Amino acid sequence: MKKKPLFIAFSTQKGGVGKSTFTVLVASYLHYLKGLNVAVMDCDYPQCSVYDMRKREIRQLETNLHYQSKAIALFDSLGKQTYRIVCSKPEEAILKAREFLAGEPADYDVVFFDLPGTINNDGVISTFMSMDYVFVPMAPSRMSMESTLSFIVPVKEVLGEYKDLNLKAIHLFWNRVDGRIKKDWLEHYEKLICQFGLPLMQTVISQSVRYDKEQSIEGSDAVFLSTIFPADRNLLKGSNLDLLVNEIMEIIHLKPQL
């Protein structure tokens, strides 16, 4: 019998907070650095930004010998290729994921779902509730906080009322925090989050341009955000991405295979 993978999503009701970025970063980290088998269901239809990113990276590999040789060396060392990315309408994502998994010879540890930025219809809500865990990046702004809490608090109430739902937990974490943010402002919202009984992760992600650093069309720049490569080890230092991944793995009870 095949192993049942965990269904995980990074979700937010506020655009530009890092939903798709963390989907790619954590999927790549687990697949390439932790030895786990992952797949991504890109449900942000019709733009499918993660799926398009993979296609863009492949096109760049065709003309860039540096990244070609780097990819070959990586895949040879791992004994496996890139993880699969499947584009799907959000309301069809669970069915498509199950069909995909049934047709794969290998077991999968995690399937990530990149959900739309707005969860505003029954199909998307059903997919959201079918996750095992949801992680919510929050930008330190009043608008982001109000948007996050106005959605997550009712979801938590539903989880408390209906114990047979698949969704086990929702965890929030700070993203894009810079030195200009006042400590008392963060503490105020952390107390509010605590009052609502929402789990807040310990890892804080600072504002950094490295989180947008993709492979260059020409040249050999270090890469942080990629579906084909893990985050560069030098760029990883001080990013807290490694801490975030480790904390996520503890929460979902997942052990590395490398």
Q: Are 153 and 198 in contact (CB under 8 A)?
A: yes
- Helix (H) or strand (E) holding 123, with range, is helix 122-129
All domains of the chain in start order, with CATH: 6-249 (3.40.50.300)
Task: Give residue-wise pLDDT tens across range 159-201.
Answer: 888 888 999 999 999 999 987 787 888 898 899 999 999 999 9
- Helix (H) or strand (E) holding 224, with range, is none
Q: What is the mean pLDDT of residues 116-143?
A: 88
Per-residue pLDDT at 122: 79
Contacts 24+ apart (CB under 8 A), 48-53: 48/87, 49/20, 49/114, 50/20, 50/23, 50/24, 50/85, 50/114, 50/227, 51/85, 51/86, 51/87, 53/24, 53/214, 53/227
Per-residue pLDDT at 8: 99
245 pLDDT higher than 90? yes
Q: Are 48 and 87 in contact (CB under 8 A)?
A: yes
Q: Are 172 and 201 in contact (CB under 8 A)?
A: yes
Q: What is the mean pLDDT of residues 106-121?
A: 89
CA distance 144 to 152: 12
* pTM attached to this predicted model: 0.95
Per-residue pLDDT at 195: 93
Q: List 121's β-bridge partners, or say none.
A: none
And the tokens for 221? 């720049």
Per-residue pLDDT at 117: 77
